[in-house]
A and B are shown apart, each in its own frame.
Chain A
Amino acid sequence: MYNKITLQKGGLMKFESQLLKGIAPVVVLEILSRGQMYGYELSQAIEQRSGDILTLGKGTLYPLLYNLEAQKLVKGKWEQMPSGRKRRYYTITSKGKEHLARQKEQLQELTAGLGVVFGFGGALKPA
């Protein structure tokens, strides 16, 4: 069974949160690279697409999105719903895509390196 790893500040799994400090933005960018989403939708998508392994802490979600917006990696836009409500959708920018590509490459190299170290043949395997 995989342990649920929560991507949030001051989370219970402190060791993991330090380890995963740089992961959350990459995860968010990856999810957004597949299509625009609003905040709630994004947090649901992270859980579902990681097989419930990763959970983006709610207290982390919006600060993270705004930081990504400040770095011009994502762009936020209000959109009117048919119901009359308005939602803020986030879209990855071209700069965000480039950044994502670089980060993924680095992660792959890291994974490969760790795999060699731990003798997993280039991939991490569960305990």
Chain B
Amino acid sequence: MSNKELNKPLQNLPACAVEYINLVIKKMRYRKKVRIEVMAELAAHFEDELRDCKTDEEKEQKAQKLIEQFGDAKLLGTLLRRAKKRCRPLWRTVLVRTFQAVSVFLIIYLIWFSSGRPVITVDYVAELNKLARPTADESLNAAPLYQKAAELLERHLKSSDKILDLIVSKKYEDANSEQKQLVEKWLTDNKEILDLVVAGTQKPYYWESYKGESIYEVPLPNLSRFRTLAYSLRWRIRLSAEQGWYENAFDDIKNSYRFGRHIRKGDKLLIEQLVGIAIEALSVQTLRSILGEYQIDSSKLTQLQKDFEQIITDENFAISFKAEKLCRYDWLQRCYTEGGPGGGHPYSLAFRKMVEINQGINAKKTWFADYCKNLGTAISFLLGLSPGRTETLKSVNDLYDFFDSEFALKTPVQVQAQKTEIDKRVKQLTGRNFLIRLTVPAFEKVFEISSRLKTDVEGTLTIIALLRYRQDKGRYPQNLDELKQAGYIKEIPIDAFSDKPLVYKKTDDNFILYSVGLNFKDDGGRLVKMWSDEGDAVFWPVKKN
């Protein structure tokens, strides 16, 4: 019977009867279909009772009498509901009872889940400071000098957006003479800034004192300023070279490289290490540009090569993940409660905060969104879709141990060859924990960046050796073996992206030296863009714009 058909009988009844029946049905509080059927039956009863009435008044009176006989609407509704409940099939009863039991359980579970809070037991910022600081006196730390340089830079550039823009965004080779003069004047007027950086590079160590409640919120305001300092140095290097002051230029290149290495080296935060690598790479790139543009005599090149080899002695270019691991531990203690099933469950509001910090967003918060996130996390944990604290801790430890063992000992080409197994293992370790996947750095990319720097540096040193050879012997060597035999290099540089020597090809009166690059394929020295996914990473000849 359709709802439309069942609603028809009420149309012919007096208002008091309609009101009464509707009230009874309302008080029934049961499934709609059942209520409609009961309503139809009651309406039919009233119709039958009022069938013989001639006038509306008579109908009204009889209806009132019948209502009195039916009794209290609420009581009748209750009795009807109870009776109809008994009519429902067993499977429906079981389903309803199960649903009620599950709902009660879920409510109790949700209350328990929501009442838990993470307990902060370890000051990981202090741990990070212990890790990052070498055993050395504060007087050997370059940080105060770099910080002062950064502060002066900020002060002097505050009123000079144009200069800042030139230094950071404009390539020297694209600048006109007026722009070069402008920057040169600024560098001369503010010489003390770069002098502080140079003084800092003479110190053996650099470490920061981290401050903050959690590692995730440790401010690193100087990093962007360090980048600007590195660009300023680059400008000074190019200006010196243009004026033929190659020794000054080379000194600044070495200083710039040491500056980058200070920031990168040690058990520092990943972001610091990446900034350090970027500054080192910038230094090496600038050196190649100068070598490509100017004729520099062999004696200067010899000294440069010797100094640079000294700087990179015992250098392994490896990225340290120890500080990152501390970050994960800090994240764990802030995002999981202590104790309970699985060692503790995720605390969703903290998760949301961590994700926002990680992604640099500041989403608008509402209680409803928080409630939904909490509910989602609770259900996910209940269903075993998101692991507890103990399992997460194990995953973090296993993951970092795995990367230390895989990436530390392998070259990018070796990692690429085992990519399927590595991806599978990573998925195994992070599978149920999407938040580890979210907050863990892209290990492969980071590893690739450090390998690029190593190849860059070795390639550039090889270029210096080749240019020296050319000046001394009047020609380029046939191959790198010859270069090594002649004592211009100690070892033949190995390309991390092929596990073979860098590709060297002698041309008419020049040479080409390149790495096969990120596609691990020898494209014959075709340069699309340095370290892009296509083509090779060509160190020489240096590409002019």
A67:B86 contact, CB within 8 angstroms: yes
Query: A117 contacts the other chain (Cβ, under 8 Å)?
Result: no
Assess A62 versus B44: contact at CB under 8 Å? Given A57-B69, A67-B86, A85-B9: no
Contact B9 A58 (CB under 8 A): no
Whether A59 pairs with B71 at a CB distance below 8 angstroms is: yes
Interface size class of A (residues with CB under 8 A): 20 to 34
Cβ of B162: which chain A residues have Cβ within 8 Å of it?
none
| Listed stretches B73-81, B163-171, B228-236, B394-402; interface member | B73-81
Interface residues of A in 49-81 (CB under 8 A from B): 57-59, 62-67, 69-71, 78
| Nearest B residue (CB) for A8 | B71
Cβ-based interface call for B27 (8 A): no
Given contacts A70-B87, A86-B5, contact A62 B41 (CB under 8 A): yes
A95, B48: Cα distance in complex, Å: 30
Residues of A contacting B5 in the complex (Cβ-Cβ under 8 angstroms): 86
Q: Cβ of B86: which chain A residues have Cβ within 8 Å of it?
A: 66-67, 70-71
Closest A residue by C-beta to B47 = A85
A78: chain B residues at CB < 8 Å are 1
**A66-B84, A66-B87 as given contacts; A87 in contact with B1, CB under 8 Å:** no
Give CA–CA (A9, B71) in the complex, Å: 10
A residues less than 8 Å from B71 (CB atoms): 8, 10, 57-59
* Neighbour of A62 across the interface among B6, B38, B48, B72, CB < 8 A: B38
Please tell me if the beta carbons of A69 and B87 are within 8 angstroms of each other in the complex: yes
Whose C-beta in chain A lies nearest to the C-beta of B12?
A85
Write out, one digit per residue, whether chain B residues 1-15 have a CB within 8 A of any chain A CB (1) or not (0).
Answer: 100011001000000
Asked if B463 lies at the interface with its beta carbon under 8 angstroms from chain A, I say: no
Nearest chain A CB to B403 CB, angstrom units: 66
> Would A86 and B40 count as touching, CB distance under 8 A?
yes
A14 on the B face (CB < 8 A): no
Distance of B77 from chain A, by nearest CB (Å)? 10
Q: Cβ of A59 and Cβ of B69 under 8 Å apart?
A: yes
**Complex Cα distance A86/B76, Å?**
23
For A122, what are the chain B residues with a Cβ–Cβ distance below 8 Å? none
A55 to chain B, nearest CB (A): 9
CB of A88 within 8 A of chain B? yes
Chain B residues with CB under 8 A of A57: 69, 71
- Cα–Cα distance between A92 and B281 once the two chains are bound (Å): 95
Q: Mark B31-66, 1 if CB is under 8 A from A, else 0.
A: 000000110111011011100000000000000001
A24-41 interface code vs B (CB 8 A; 1 in, 0 out): 000000000000001111
Contact sample, A vs B, 5 pairs, CB 8 Å cutoff? A10-B75, A40-B44, A40-B49, A70-B87, A88-B37
Interface residues of B (CB under 8 A from A): 1, 5-6, 9, 37-38, 40-42, 44-45, 47-49, 66, 69-72, 75-76, 79-80, 82-84, 86-87
A-B CB proximity, top 3 nearest = A70-B86, A66-B83, A59-B71
Measuring CB to CB, which residues of chain A are less than 8 angstroms from any residue of chain B? 8-10, 38-41, 57-59, 62-67, 69-71, 78, 85-88
